[in-house]
Amino acid sequence: MNVLATVLLLLTFAACKKYNSAGFTPGTGAPAISSVHTYSKTDTTTRMDTVVAYDSSGTKSLSFKFKSNFVTPFDSTTTAGNLGNYYIIYGSNLGSTTKITFNGANAYFNRALITDKSLVVQIPSTTPFIGPSATDSLVVTTLYGKAWYKFRIIPPPPTVNAMSDYNFWTGSQISLKGVGFTSISSVGLTGTAATVTVVQKTDTTMTLQFPSTTVSRASLVFTFSLTGAPQTGTMAMELIDLDNAYAIFYKDNFQNSWIDNSWSHPSGPSTEATHSAPGTSSLRANYPAGAWQIEGWAGWNGPGGGFSYDAGYKYLTFWVKGGTADHTLVLVGDQMTGGYGQIQLSAAMAIQKIPTPKGVWTYYRIPLGTGTNQLNFWAGGNLAKQLGFFLQGQSGDVDEVMYFDEVAFVK
């Protein structure tokens, strides 16, 4: 609690003549609300979404954050409030309060912080702020009546809780889930003047269509308005433009002349699963029960005979869909330490170990460079011709099928 707020409240309470166990005698007249005041100086909203990614130093990152600060003077009179924030209601005959609602949502209040002239209350996070239920109604109910006060709920800042993809290309679409999207007026990308088209928008869902860009990685920038002046918020998690990457597979096809290099079939492009809807295909990989097997792809047919070393490339990125049980794959490459071989989990670097939860798509972005917590992708030579995933056989295994999509090297 803000110290000044505590002092003000104690002075308010001390001013009330103590006649009963509540410390005052509640008024028996009809309640009335004269004003509502802010309770704190700053309202900070932070949201997080879990992904598996690494920064350029090889440190694993499990979240992105979208953060906005809204600063108001302490103890200022207001007719609008933020979800989850505390406010002080001033008026008369408030001592016998039994219920406080914002737009019909029951609000929490502490009876120890009630006087006949003031209430401290928190706006429920479930309070409607759009739609027919958003009636701008603050209602205090006492033993002797109700007091109504016009009080608007400020929409939360655009907050992304989930995304359908972290990669895009010209014309592709990504769906977002979260809250506060109705306040968005435009969407941009860091590092480019190109704008993202909002295809569909409700307060909790939004579909974006992406333009052609010249950037390798960029973050979404939302322009929105909550109380008047436009504000901007940048999502810290980067998206990847696969049109500007060295791709092995996306847009339902192998790219750069890479081919299937699997040990068992059917393998390669398959319409049985896809991550990049409305795409139709991904890369199928088969792992027979009990086998010690690598499934992967080869680039020796491509221009230059493979993927040549380029210090500008920072990451390998891909989606993988697990099979019928949880597994951990080992990522291997012909120029990586250990080569394109059967590297057991006990011998693999931590960054090579790829958990694949059963039946779901998981996104990975892994640094390619040299040193600790890096793939050291070109450790054995400057021309990489193979990339794959080894599954160590275990007693009791069943035949497994996994799928890979949007496999690419990114600058």
| End-of-domain residue from the set 96, 127, 154 | 154
CA angle at 333 for the pair 332 and 335, rounded to the nearest 5°: 135
- Per the structure, the count of domains in the chain is 3
Quote the CA–CA distance of 27 and 23 in Å, as a whole number: 13
> Does residue 392 form part of some domain?
yes
| Domain end among 209, 242, 275 | 242
Handedness of CA 272, 277, 280, 283 (dihedral sign): negative
Residue with tokens 């010690």: 292
Which CATH number goes with the domain that contains 387?
A: 2.60.120.260
Distance CA 53, CA 176 (A): 19
| 238: number of Cβ within 10 Å | 21
The reply to whether 40 falls in a domain is: yes
Torsions phi, psi of 81, nearest 5?
-145, 165
Average pLDDT along the chain, 411 residues, taken 10 residues at a time: 41 40 81 91 45 54 44 72 94 97 96 93 92 94 97 91 96 95 95 96 96 97 86 90 98 96 92 92 93 93 90 97 95 95 93 96 96 93 97 80 98 96
- The pLDDT value recorded for residue 226 is 82
Q: What is the pTM assigned to this prediction?
A: 0.77
Q: Would 194 be classed as within a structural domain?
A: yes
- Domain, as residue range, for 131: 3-48+70-154
Predicted local distance difference test score (pLDDT) of residue 333: 97
- Rounded to whole angstroms, what are the CA distances from 274 to 190, 279, 404? 28, 7, 8
pLDDT, position 12: 42
Do 397 and 356 share a domain, yes or no? yes
pLDDT given at position 75: 61
CATH of the domain at 184: 2.60.40.10
* 288 and 141 inside one domain: no
Q: What angle do CA 356, 400, 407 make, to 5 degrees?
A: 50
Tokens of 123: 């706006």
Is residue 32 helix, strand or coil? strand
Q: Mark whether 113 and 252 lie in a shared domain.
A: no
What is the torsional sign of CA 344, 347, 352, 353? Answer: positive
E strand or H helix at 391: strand 386-391
Same structural domain, 259 and 360 = yes
Question: Are 183 and 317 found together in one domain?
Answer: no
One-letter amino acid identity for 180?
Answer: G
Q: Which residues contact 204 (CB under 8 A, 6 or more apart)?
A: 177, 178, 179, 181
- In sequence order, which residues have a C-beta less than 8 Å from that of residue 205 and are 6 or more positions away? 175, 176, 177, 181
* 254 and 391 housed in the same domain: yes
Q: Residues 124, 81: contact at Cβ < 8 Å? A: no
Contact status, residue 220 vs residue 239, Cβ threshold 8 Å: yes
Q: Is residue 261 located within the same domain as residue 342?
A: yes
From 133, 154, 175, give the residue that closes a domain. 154
State whether 308 and 359 are in the same domain: yes
What percent helix, strand, coil does the chain show, rounded to 5? 5, 45, 50
What residues contact 130, with CB distance under 8 A and at least 6 apart? 155, 182, 203
17 with 107, same domain: the answer is: yes
* Structural domain contains residue 314: yes
d(CA 359, CA 320): 10
Residue 74 is predicted with a pLDDT of: 57
